[in-house]
Amino acid sequence: WPRSGGIRGGVAMDLFGDLRRMNKRQLYYQVLNFAMIVSSALMIWKGLIVITGSESPIVVVLSGSMEPAFHRGDLLFLTNFHDDPIRAGEIVVFKVEGRDIPIVHRVIKVHEKGNGNIKFLTKGDNNEVDDRGLYKEGQNWLEKKDVVGRARGFLPYVGMVTIIMNDYPKFKYALLAVMGAYVLLKRES
């Protein structure tokens, strides 16, 4: 390792040295390979959206409001088929006007009208009161249009990586840099 740059400087110099030693064809191949990985991930995501009917088929639980059912960091798998009726006891993910992040809570009351319209009320299992305080001003009930999806399965704590990356942006950028460098510099055997 070079003495002046320390460990960080040494790693960066090695990465740039590897890039310089690659010929242009290898570099183009690695960049194309990286682009294929990114586009494949996007195609899989779009495919999941079509299959599940949900605009966001996978979400991470960001708070403890649904404990003990779901914990912070759990990864939820959602579907959102409009033919399925919403029932009390079901766990839904919904968006409220004025809030960017969807909320994961349980349906506690459902009002069905004769014309097929459904309105419902939600509450976090670990919360003392219902969600009327979270809805936009003047809104007392949610409608089907507010639902992003319904929980169909989960993986415990797998989403903690997402939470860590949101809480510590430097970690996110370091992880992305390492992954990008790995893809660009890995050699085919």
List the pLDDT tens digit at each of the 189 positions of the chain. Answer: 444 444 555 555 565 666 666 677 777 887 888 899 899 999 999 999 999 999 999 999 999 999 999 999 999 999 999 888 899 999 999 999 888 889 999 999 999 887 878 999 999 999 999 999 999 988 999 999 999 999 999 999 999 988 988 888 898 888 888 887 887 777 654
User: Which residues, listed in sequence order, are joined to residue 170 by a DSSP beta bridge?
Assistant: none
- Contact (Cβ atoms closer than 8 angstroms) between residue 88 and residue 150: no
Residues 79 and 134 placed together within one structural domain of the fold: yes
Residues 74 and 137 placed together within one structural domain of the fold: yes
CA separation for the pair 90, 42 (Å, rounded)? 29
Which position among 54, 65, 74, 146 bears the catalytic label?
65
| pTM score | 0.74
Residues 138 and 67 placed together within one structural domain of the fold: yes
Residues 151 and 168 placed together within one structural domain of the fold: no
Which position among 39, 40, 111, 131 bears the catalytic label?
131
Report the SS3 class of residue 163.
helix
Residue 95 DSSP label: -
Structure tokens, 121: 């009320």
Q: How far is C-alpha 39 from the geometric centre of its chain's CA atoms?
A: 17
Which position among 4, 39, 54, 105 bears the catalytic label?
105
| 131 is annotated as an active-site residue | yes
Residues 72 and 148 placed together within one structural domain of the fold: yes
Residues 147 and 107 placed together within one structural domain of the fold: yes
Q: What is the CA radius of gyration of the chain?
A: 23
Instruction: Indicate whether 103 belongs to any domain.
Output: yes
Domain with 62, as residue range(s), is 58-156
Name the domain count of the chain: 3
Instruction: Indicate whether 4 belongs to any domain.
Output: no
Whole-number pLDDT of residue 15? 59
